């Protein structure tokens, strides 16, 4: 009588190891850009909350630059779109982040954010 063997074949183990390593590497490359996006979002919300009704665009940009300096962001206030809607300051932004993966393959992520809601 033959017993059924249970377990993982070496080829299956190697395949899934490669898949898990690729996912881990992708995660390590994408995570810093997502953290930067979250910091920018937090900073524009803090800037909008701090802006008074008589704040100028230059004042708002200067205020954001101070928050960005504390969070050590490469993102500049000149990349912000600042408007007023119903008497409230609305700050929004949009940018692309290209993450090189290997050889000539890159991952392109479009980040967008706004204080409008």
Inside any domain, residue 9: no
Question: pLDDT of 19-69, one tens digit each?
Answer: 999 999 999 999 999 999 999 999 999 999 988 878 889 999 999 999 999
Q: Residue 109's domain spans which residues?
A: 31-114
What's the pTM value of the predicted model, to 2 decimals?
A: 0.81
Question: What is the pLDDT, as a whole number, of residue 85?
Answer: 84
Q: Residue 65 — φ and ψ, nearest 5°?
A: -60, -35
List residues bridging with 111 in a β-sheet.
95
67 in a domain, yes or no? yes
Q: Is residue 14 part of a domain?
A: no
Q: How many helices and strands (H and E) does the chain possess? A: 2, 3
Dist. CA 108–CA 55, nearest whole Å: 35
Does a structural domain hold residue 23?
Answer: no
pLDDT tens digit sequence for 100-116 = 988 999 999 999 999 98
Domains: count for the chain: 1
Task: Tell me, yes or no, whether 55 lies in a domain.
Answer: yes
- pLDDT surpassing 90 at residue 84: no
Q: Tell me if 5 is assigned to some domain.
A: no
């Amino acid at each position: 009588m033959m017993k059924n063997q249970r377990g993982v074949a070496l080829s299956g183990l190697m395949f899934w190891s490669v898949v898990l390593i690729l996912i881990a590497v992708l995660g390590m490359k994408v995570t810093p850009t997502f953290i930067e996006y979250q910091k920018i979002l937090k900073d524009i919300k803090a800037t909008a909350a701090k802006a008074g009704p008589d704040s100028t665009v230059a004042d708002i940009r200067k205020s954001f630059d101070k928050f960005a300096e504390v969070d050590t962001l490469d993102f500049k206030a000149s990349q912000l779109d600042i408007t007023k809607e119903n008497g409230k300051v609305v700050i929004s932004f949009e940018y692309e982040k290209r993450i090189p993966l290997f050889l000539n393959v890159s991952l392109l992520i479009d980040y967008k954010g706004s204080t409008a809601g």
